Structure 1
Amino acid sequence: MSVTLVLGPVLRHVGESTAAVWVQTDAPAEVEVLGCSARTFQVQEHHYALVPVTGLTPDSVHEYQVRIDGEIVWPEPDSEFPPSVIRTRGPAGAHRLKVVFGSCRYPKTGVQKLDDKLGLDALDCYAERLTATPVDEWPDALLLLGDQVYADELTPEARRNLSGRRQTKRRPPDEVVTFDEYEGLYRHTWGDPEIRWILSTLPTAMIFDDHDIRDDWNTSAPWRAEVNEKPWWRDRIHAGLGSYWVYQHIGNLSPEELASDEDYQKVLANDGDCWPHLVELADRADYEVDGDKGLRFSFRWDLGRSRLIMVDSRNARILDSGERKMLGDREFRWLEDQVNDDLGTVDHLLIGSSLPWLLPPALGDVQTINEIAADRDGLRGKLAETIRQTADLEHWPAFLKSFLRLSALIESAADHSSTGPATVSVLSGDVHHSYAARADFPGKHATRVHQLVCSPVHNYVPAPLKPVFRLVWSPRLARVTRRWARRAGSPDLPMSWRNLSGPLFGNTIASLNVSGRDAEVVFEQPRDDGSLTSVITVSLTD
């Protein structure tokens, strides 16, 4: 019996002469792409391969097929989609870049009422448009900024399937807990034909957010202490982080990084089930040791004269030690090293974080005020902690020391010199509305600094929250909350920021377009006929 391609191919890291193609199969096999091959590795009853494609020509387009044990399995017979290609970068395209980004993509449910409420999937619509677009106009990268799967908000079908599997009350009937259940989530979410095709042909970088594990994941130390009391939580962490490593993380790494990654090399060397190693890996990633985590999920992509640094702002948090940090010190030093590394050669610096660095100013101050109160003893501290968890007050401003450290790093990059970056952009999602905000630091800086948020790709914001989001962008309210924050003990902030567009509600996909030292961001939304229309365009260099 021939081996079947279950999911993929997904095109991941692409360099000047290399690429990585990820696949899932239903049995052990040899997977080949453009004459390069890899043997699958096994996790429980599932099989995966990340094929390293080498020897490619810079600045070129390579149409590819996927063979399993010598048999062509991709493209699928009678496919209506264009051929999947690998487009390498090189000197000729170093000054140009198009990055498509967004977050929070809930899958289609198959229930008409729910799907109507969710609206058209913006990434689906983008893929449809791409099929009629010349290859040389395709984006250079797709950035998925969190909530690739919803492990705690299941579709009705997934909930029904799950309820039939539960034999005891030890595990909840409405949340995934096992690796096998996560496998079903990824297969459902990535299996849509348009999504499967676009992932096969655009280099895709990914990072998780809370719903990939659980809503408000790692909000605070009390949250962690409470959830760790649940009898199924260790199983959930093992399955969530283990599946994230397989489906998302390893494809973010370059060939050189994979070659030196001990975990990846152990998996490749294992002839049997790698699940025990993934359990150990997940524990290492989750536990804090000496104020740091034992595994880094942050990563860097060099894109010609632009640089993307994706920051893990979920699992890298330090909470159990009594401190409250978005990143441990070792991880923050890594981020600082990546930003400052030969910065004079970078025209555009992109920092990806699933959570926005700059929220609406009033909302940011409220989160800082809450953090200060939550750090106090007694009833006031407990009340503030309850509010923190209930109102999701756990973004960068709710980790004030980390917020100020990131702000200082961005200011330093912007102050590098006239030969430094023309723009520094923080790309984020999570908050279910989209906007472009410009940060202004004191003094003269040639570099323009922006917070760019695109959320959701396919989800919705409850109607009562829309006027709240509009209100918290009010400059008048911002002056009130800033005075309140100072009285609560917040220092003056090193910069101010203002909204250039939005808040934009509805399913949205954004594109960051670079030409030389000029850059712009374009927000697009689906029309009723499935086409995309440009809603907002903002120059980042004016």
Structure 2
Amino acid sequence: MLRRVTGDRATIWLETSEPAEVLIEAEGGATGSAPTFSAYGHHYAMIVVTGLVPDSSQAYTVTLDGRSVWPAAGSTYPPSVIRTRATDDRDQPVSLTFGSCREGTPQSSGRRLPPDALDAFARRLMAGTHDRPDLLVLLGDQVYADETSAKVKRYLKKRRRNGHDGPDDQVVAFEEYTKLYLESWRDPEVRWLFSTVPSVMIFDDHELIDDWNTSASWRADIARNSWWRKRIADGLASYWIYQHLGNLSPDELAADPLFQKVSSSGDATELLHEFGLRVDEPGSAENTDQPYQWSFALDVGRTRLVVLDNRCNRVLTPGARAMLPASEWDWFLDRAHGDYDHLVVGSSLPWLMPPAIHHLEAWNERIAESRHARTAAFGEQIRRAFDLEHWAAFGKSFAALGELFRRLGEGNPDAPSRRVGAGGAYAAPASISVLSGDVHHSYVAKADFGQALATPVMQLTCSPIHNQVPAPMRPLMRFSWSRAVARVARGLSKSAGVAKPALRWKRVAGPYFGNAVGTLQLEGRSATARIEGTSKDGDLFDVAEVKY
């Protein structure tokens, strides 16, 4: 799996069936090699390929102990390539393809789902009719640990009969998590896509369990299950291996102490199990220790991408709830200011939700923190029943993110390290885009701060890649964009003492309820967002296109 391409280097992740020495050779003489490392009886490698030719596409091969394994013998797919950008790529366009919520293919899922948008996207790239994006940005629910396929359920029931603790239909142990990734990523088209287009990933809740870290009381309740400690430890360990490692650049890998220990360990099982337990600690208002950081950032040309952890490190202390702990928020602020043209924030949970839902979540957060026990218990019950846990349910973080975007959009001369424009003032970004998923419908919304900003601030939500919304829910979701319904919900939140948001937002495209992929094209000072859905025949078609 091709993960990061940075200058003349690239990182490639792979899993093997047994220990081996891995060698990757690309056209032009670029190479990389490393032995596999082992954990939980499985074998993995992160290979850094060096010496790539700038501004080119170079086919590559993979050998294990001298035996050629990729491309697969008899493959009819186009060659897997590593595409590099020019040494000076400031004027090169940047293309990011994004989405979230992907169950396995219909053959493995046991459910009749509409065609997989990632399969459709891969087939189109194979046909050579469209350019490959610079990066795939996958925004959560890459696998579903709590909504497993019929095949995985059969496997789990057998394990439970053999004494492995846990629910019959949900994964708990590392070995069980590996079955989810195998089922999802062995899809031939997707496997080829991952081999030739770099990708970054962040988790949402279903990598672990629905509503993960909704609240402090949720954590207390889930911890009462005998299988929870193993599930969270093995789940985070498997996420670190299968998804997070590939988000790191070659320099970040070299500087990561955990990776250095794991890759040099004969068996990293115990090391990763302890790591999984240790990092399962949400932030707190009192704890100033810096938690393990799942958020990450990278630059592609003149575009800065910052992808935020919306799950593991939440501050859940009543009265001080926050989407990120203070140390990670400071890190984000540092990355949000810098020398770039376009700022793209990856957030598995949409920042701007349908207004009625936003006000409902803000109301719910307030009553769930009521001093009256019965009122608070009712609020918590509502929160869990309707998944009221997006940015609006962390009101201080919602407001802080909006204030950050407003200041950046003004081109605040006091903001550190923005490029100096005409007259000596710091220039505002050309655009700010928040990429999100989770909500199983796709839409584009524009923020309105009540003043003219040089920078458009947009919410781009694309979900699901391969899942579906129950038909009865679709009218309700559409209805939640209604101004009349929003006024009623705002009245409810106002009655609980919630202040009016400092900004408004308007839907400019959608909602679309089918499977979809989104693409953000950035060129010069302009941005184009495109949502494409899948037809019954599995082809992509345009759903929406918004230029800003």
Q: TM-score, normalised by structure 1?
A: 0.94
**Partner residue in 1 for 2:28:** none
**Would the alpha carbon gap of residues 434 and 450 (structure 1) be closer, same or farther in structure 2, given more than 3 Å must change?**
same
1:439 aligns with 2:447: yes
1:357 aligns with 2:351: yes
1:320 Cα deviation from its structure 2 partner: 5.3
1:485 aligns with 2:493: yes
CA deviations on 1:79-103 (whole Å, 9 max, x unpaired) are: 1110001111232464401111000
**Partner residue in 2 for 1:316:** 313
Question: Which residue of 210, 233, 237 maps to 1:238?
Answer: 233
**Partner residue in 2 for 1:250:** 245
My pick for the range that moved more, 70-79 or 281-290, is: 281-290
Query: How far apart are the structure 2 equivalents of 1:479 and 1:119?
Result: 35
User: Secondary structure at the residue paired with 2:159?
Assistant: coil
User: Secondary structure at the residue paired with 1:81?
Assistant: coil
Query: How far apart are the structure 2 equivalents of 1:321 and 1:496?
Result: 26
- Contact 2:282-2:312 at 8 Å conserved across structures: no
Alignment of 1:149-168 (within 5 A): 149-166=143-160, 167-168=162-163
1:185 Cα deviation from its structure 2 partner: 0.7
CA deviations on 1:442-467 (whole Å, 9 max, x unpaired) are: 22211000000000000000111101
CA deviations on 1:37-96 (whole Å, 9 max, x unpaired) are: 011100121000010111222222111111111221000011111000111123246440
Letter in 2 for 1:326: M
Alignment of 1:130-169 (within 5 A): 130-133=125-128, 137-166=131-160, 167-168=162-163
**Partner residue in 1 for 2:325:** 328
1:468 aligns with 2:468: no
1:28 aligns with 2:19: yes
Alignment of 1:494-509 (within 5 A): 494-509=502-517
**Would the alpha carbon gap of residues 134 and 506 (structure 1) be closer, same or farther in structure 2, given more than 3 Å must change?**
closer
1:293 Cα deviation from its structure 2 partner: 5.9
CA deviations on 1:134-161 (whole Å, 9 max, x unpaired) are: 68x2111111100000000010111001
User: Secondary structure at the residue paired with 1:247?
Assistant: helix
**Partner residue in 2 for 1:347:** 341
**Partner residue in 1 for 2:417:** none
User: Secondary structure at the residue paired with 1:460?
Assistant: coil
Query: How far apart are the structure 2 equivalents of 1:239 and 1:383?
Result: 33
Letter in 1 for 2:78: P
Question: Which residue of 278, 302, 306 maps to 1:305?
Answer: 302
Query: How far apart are the structure 2 equivalents of 1:292 and 1:210?
Result: 24
Letter in 2 for 1:282: G
Alignment of 1:386-425 (within 5 A): 386-416=381-411, 419-425=427-433
Alignment of 1:99-138 (within 5 A): 99-110=96-107, 114-116=110-112, 118-133=113-128, 137-138=131-132
My pick for the range that moved more, 41-50 or 519-528, is: 519-528
1:285 Cα deviation from its structure 2 partner: 1.4
Query: How far apart are the structure 1 equivalents of 2:137 and 2:289?
Result: 26
1:12 aligns with 2:3: yes
- Contact 2:90-2:302 at 8 Å conserved across structures: no
Superposed structure 1 runs of 4+ greater than 4 Å apart: none
CA deviations on 1:488-523 (whole Å, 9 max, x unpaired) are: 211221211000011111101111111211111111
CA deviations on 1:145-189 (whole Å, 9 max, x unpaired) are: 000000000101110011001134842211111111111110111
- Contact 1:108-1:115 at 8 Å conserved across structures: no
CA deviations on 1:385-428 (whole Å, 9 max, x unpaired) are: 01001110000000111111111112122122673311100000
Query: How far apart are the structure 1 equivalents of 2:319 and 2:522?
Result: 42
Query: How far apart are the structure 2 equivalents of 1:436 and 1:50?
Result: 36
**Partner residue in 2 for 1:66:** 62
My pick for the range that moved more, 470-479 or 327-336, is: 470-479
Letter in 2 for 1:267: V
Superposition CA RMSD, Å: 1.6
User: Secondary structure at the residue paired with 1:67?
Assistant: strand
**Partner residue in 2 for 1:263:** 258
1:485 Cα deviation from its structure 2 partner: 1.9
- Contact 1:292-1:328 at 8 Å conserved across structures: no
Query: How far apart are the structure 1 equivalents of 2:137 and 2:14?
Result: 19
**Partner residue in 2 for 1:6:** none
Letter in 2 for 1:138: R
My pick for the range that moved more, 34-43 or 359-368, is: 34-43
**Would the alpha carbon gap of residues 134 and 54 (structure 1) be closer, same or farther in structure 2, given more than 3 Å must change?**
farther
Question: Which residue of 68, 75, 79 maps to 2:71?
Answer: 75
Letter in 1 for 2:107: G
Letter in 1 for 2:475: P
- Contact 1:109-1:156 at 8 Å conserved across structures: no
**Would the alpha carbon gap of residues 238 and 101 (structure 1) be closer, same or farther in structure 2, given more than 3 Å must change?**
same
Query: How far apart are the structure 1 equivalents of 2:288 and 2:174?
Result: 28
User: Secondary structure at the residue paired with 1:499?
Assistant: strand
- Contact 1:59-1:93 at 8 Å conserved across structures: no
Letter in 2 for 1:180: E
1:291 Cα deviation from its structure 2 partner: 5.4
- Contact 1:291-1:321 at 8 Å conserved across structures: no
User: Secondary structure at the residue paired with 2:127?
Assistant: coil
1:292 Cα deviation from its structure 2 partner: 5.7
Query: How far apart are the structure 1 equivalents of 2:393 and 2:228?
Result: 25
- Contact 2:441-2:513 at 8 Å conserved across structures: yes
Query: How far apart are the structure 2 equivalents of 1:77 and 1:285?
Result: 41
1:49 aligns with 2:45: yes
Query: How far apart are the structure 1 equivalents of 2:142 and 2:124?
Result: 21
Query: How far apart are the structure 1 equivalents of 2:264 and 2:320?
Result: 38
Alignment of 1:201-220 (within 5 A): 201-220=196-215
1:487 Cα deviation from its structure 2 partner: 2.8
Letter in 2 for 1:79: S
- Contact 1:411-1:441 at 8 Å conserved across structures: yes
Query: How far apart are the structure 2 equivalents of 1:533 and 1:335?
Result: 35
Query: How far apart are the structure 2 equivalents of 1:18 and 1:242?
Result: 26
Q: TM-score, normalised by structure 2?
A: 0.93
1:277 aligns with 2:268: no
